């Protein structure tokens, strides 16, 4: 049975440790920093079997070199369409990643937008999505495009609603704040905010989260909702013509006015 442990890093990152406790082995997802990973592996008495990378940003790949120094020969999986020097097992859309020692298997989806070659790992009822989808939000566009990010989020939206989403930043409370700019009368946002503060006050992360709840509170997955369309048109000062247009208005607004 799969266990997933969050390893806090930097100010708001999570590195994910996917483990099989019976085998005392683990895969490491997006290790931006090696030190907390090495500490967690020692504390949990786990042997790493693989590193999984979603995209090239430093806070997701910065720890690879030191991990390989500590565990020579550890395979590093990552996106085929991004230049990440230490990735020796490039993965593309539709490929299957089988972690046999963990008894786990993941499908690879290419979901560009945050970066041009971003991939995610889906399987075991879970999605390890890097910086594509956040709880109540989505990634900022760097070397991808708004068009790509919109369609990547739409692909995620087709997954089962009970999918557990493992993103890599603790942005939830901040994202709910922006969502309330978009939909101030959405009562589900108030409920979600209370739940998140309760988790944080108790020392727990607000992620992972269930995909289905995003359709109630995430403005970037609600671009077809009349209230969200109305807010986008108010901000843009014009009519919007498609949900993708609404998405672009909201993402640019968040980048320029809120973040």
Sheet hosting strand 164-167, strand order edge to edge: 96-99, 104-110, 119-123, 126-130, 164-167, 209-210
Q: Is 60 annotated as a binding residue?
A: yes
- Under the banding of pLDDT at 50, 70 and 90, the label for residue 23 is confident
Contact between residue 132 and residue 66 where contact means Cβ atoms under 8 Å apart: no
User: What number of residues does the chain have?
Assistant: 259
The domain that holds 17 is classified in CATH as 3.60.15.10
Q: What's residue 168's pLDDT?
A: 97
Please report which helix (H) or strand (E) contains residue 112, including its range. Answer: none
Give the ranges where the chain is alpha helix by DSSP (H): 34-44, 58-61, 64-70, 146-156, 172-182, 187-201, 211-217, 226-236, 243-253
Domain that holds residue 152: 3-258
Domain count, the chain: 1
Catalytic residues: 55, 57, 59-60, 114, 131, 169
Q: What's residue 236's pLDDT?
A: 97
Rounded to 5°, angle at Cα 235 from 230 and 241 = 55
Alpha carbons 236 and 186: distance in angstroms, whole number: 21
Q: Is 131 annotated as a binding residue?
A: yes
- Under the banding of pLDDT at 50, 70 and 90, the label for residue 257 is confident
Q: What are 165-204's pLDDT values in tens digits? A: 999 999 999 999 999 999 999 999 999 999 999 999 999 9
Is the model's pLDDT at 259 over the cut of 70? Answer: no
Q: Is 169 annotated as a binding residue?
A: yes
- Under the banding of pLDDT at 50, 70 and 90, the label for residue 154 is very high
Q: What are 26-78's pLDDT values in tens digits? A: 999 999 999 999 999 999 999 999 999 999 999 999 999 999 999 999 999 99
Alpha carbons 140 and 255: distance in angstroms, whole number: 7
Q: What's residue 188's pLDDT?
A: 98
Alpha carbons 115 and 68: distance in angstroms, whole number: 25
Is the model's pLDDT at 101 over the cut of 80? Answer: yes
Q: What are 197-244's pLDDT values in tens digits? A: 999 999 999 999 999 999 999 999 999 999 999 999 999 999 999 999
């Amino acid at each position: 049975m799969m266990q997933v442990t969050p390893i806090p890093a930097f100010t708001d990152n999570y590195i994910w440790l996917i483990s099989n406790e019976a085998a005392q082995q683990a895969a490491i997802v997006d290790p931006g920093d090696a030190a907390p990973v090495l500490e967690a592996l020692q504390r949990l008495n786990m042997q790493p079997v693989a590193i999984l990378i979603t995209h090239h940003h430093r806070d997701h790949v910065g720890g690879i070199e030191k991990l390989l120094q500590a565990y020579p020969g550890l395979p590093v999986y990552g996106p085929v369409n991004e230049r990440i020097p230490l990735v020796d097992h490039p993965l593309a859309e539709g490929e299957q990643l089988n972690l046999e020692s963990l008894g786990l298997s993941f499908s690879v989806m290419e979901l560009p937008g945050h970066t041009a070659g971003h991939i995610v790992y889906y399987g075991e009822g879970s999605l390890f999505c890097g910086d594509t989808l956040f709880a109540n939000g989505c990634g900022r566009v760097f070397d991808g495009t708004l068009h790509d990010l919109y369609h990547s989020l739409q692909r995620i939206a087709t997954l089962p609603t009970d999918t557990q989403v493992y993103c890599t930043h603790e942005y939830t409370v901040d994202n709910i704040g922006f969502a309330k700019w978009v939909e101030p009368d959405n009562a589900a946002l108030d409920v979600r905010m209370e739940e998140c503060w309760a988790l944080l006050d108790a020392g727990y992360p607000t992620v992972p989260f269930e995909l289905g709840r995003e359709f109630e509170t995430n403005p970037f997955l609600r671009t077809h909702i009349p209230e969200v369309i109305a807010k986008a048109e108010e901000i843009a000062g014009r009519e919007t013509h498609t949900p993708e247009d609404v998405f672009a208005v909201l993402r640019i607004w968040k980048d320029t006015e809120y973040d």
